[in-house]
Structure 1
Amino acid sequence: MTTVPPGPAVPGPPQGPGVQPPFVAPPTDGVRKRQWIAIGLIAATLVLCCVGAIGGVTSFAVLGTRVVVQQEKAAVSGYLTALQKRDYPAAYKFLCDQLRDAQTLEAFEAEQSAEPDIVAFEVGAPSVSTLEVPATVHYADGTDTSYRFQLEQSSKTTEFFVCGVTS
């Protein structure tokens, strides 16, 4: 018969309440709380950056549109002011290349000097999409005429020029 040598003794369960387990549990002194705070701060920063970017792009678009509207009105106002002062060379400079190529300064002066004197004018709100600017011109003979000035933007200087008029 063979005898089995005795093996290592297996410890039994701990005795009663308050006994320490044989290993120590990892500390839970706020690690999860700090992780959630960090995630919250990162999310808030991301939202703030996105809102700021959207606001910046929107502001840029609005400002750009206002600048275009102001330049369109300035082109028509400059043209009509020059005609009102009968400064035909200055008014001729507000015409687009296509109109200046089709008509000489002398022919433009002869055509405009035959028109009645301009007493006053009002320039309306431009249509940015169609590059048209409405204006009402008050003449010395007592008549008022509403016009729509078609504009063209120079690709070199980005200035606007009068390139057609309809009444």
Structure 2
Amino acid sequence: MAQPYFEIASAPCPLQRNEFYMHLYLRQTGSGSDRTQAEIVPPKEPNSFGVTHVIDWPIAVVPEPAATIVARAQGLLMQAGLINPRTYTSFNIVFEDDRRKSNNQWAISSGTGGFALAHGIIRQKVMPLDGRRDTNIKELHIHAFYTPMNNSVVPGATDGKS
């Protein structure tokens, strides 16, 4: 008999929720050998509509250029709005720290690994920067909740390895 493609199990108790807060700094560099984004779709007129960049912005615990990178914001940035231009950004925060890495998991609603089912907000503030005009540093205040999950192997599930 074939195994059903889904199962439903009762959860007799509410899930535990944990709260976390992070204070980090994200660096965006648009050109040069240390650039952290690249244009992959050229802009259309008016207002650079549709311009799209692939991004790999380093995130550190201090704003200095030589700071240790603790994570990366990897994804897309695009100009969305014909009349009132707005930037749409979608990225994963990929932690370099082994305690925060998530392997062989796909996000259903948001976070994976140690931050399963995360939801919250990120407040950003652009910091003044002397020197390079093509570089921004954003101070990030991340405040979220997550639900610790039992990551034991589910019967019949695979880990993506062949």
TM-score bracket relative to the smaller structure: under 0.3
> Whose helix fraction is larger, Structure 1's or Structure 2's?
1
TM-score, structure 1 length as denominator? 0.25
The higher relative CO (CA closer than 8 Å, separation ≥ 6) is in 2
TM-score, structure 2 length as denominator? 0.25
**Structure number, greater radius of gyration:** 1
